[in-house]
Amino acid sequence: MSGENYEEITKRYIGDQLSSSIFFSKPGLFLLDSLPVDPIPAFDLEDINIVQPVEICSLPVASIKLDGDWVQRVGGEEGSEASGSFEYRILESLPLSLCSILAPHVEERCLGIKLIETLDEMGGSIGQVAEFHIFALIEDTSSRVFIAPLENFETYNEALDRVDTLLGR
């Protein structure tokens, strides 16, 4: 979840101050409305997007390790984006009906929704950073499948509170 990607996308597609603050925490509201699913050419950066085709996100079996509930990326070339530690685990599967709230423009194309926790090795004194997200698998009109963040949270409690509210618990 690169802040730079969110900032660049905000400048190009989202616009005003109110919408940009909502975009970072609830990007699902903008999917297929003002935010495209295809890669976005960025000035002096590689193509970016917060929405990724599933085939790009899939890791070769040899580069993942299961540790309990955690999926870990292992290996990678030194200096490459894949060289750092990255882990995720699914905390809860959520009903597809939530797409109408979290991503209203892709509601009928939503294939699955999960609450996940990610751990990313930031290096230096920062160490490992935990983040919480609601992600969805979505299908575009050409039947391509993408993984997209619908909501982002800073803390576990914030994520659980939101899920409880959405599910009426």
The mean pLDDT value for 100-106 works out to 90
Q: What is the pLDDT of residue 82?
A: 45
pLDDT of residue 105: 87
Reported as a single tens digit per residue, the pLDDT across 59-90 is: 554 445 555 565 665 554 444 444 456 678 88
For the residues 124-143, what does the mean pLDDT come to? Answer: 82
Side-chain half-sphere CA neighbours of 18 within 13 A: 0
pLDDT score, position 33: 73
CB contact set of 92 (below 8 Å; sequence gap of 6+): 114, 115, 163
- Do 149 and 27 touch, CB atoms closer than 8 A? yes
Give the model's pLDDT for residue 122. Answer: 62
pLDDT at 141 over 70: yes
What pLDDT was estimated at residue 102?
94
From residue 124, alpha-carbon distances to 80, 84, 119, 152, 158 in Å are 17, 12, 15, 24, 27
Q: What is the model's pLDDT at position 14?
A: 76
Percent of the chain with pLDDT strictly greater than 70: 70
- pLDDT recorded at residue 144: 83
Q: Quick check: 10 pLDDT over 70?
A: yes
Mean per-residue pLDDT over the chain, rounded: 77
Counting residues of the chain whose pLDDT is more than 90, the rounded percentage is 26
Q: Please name every residue paired with 31 in a beta bridge, in sequence order, or none if there are none.
A: 35
pLDDT at 123: 60
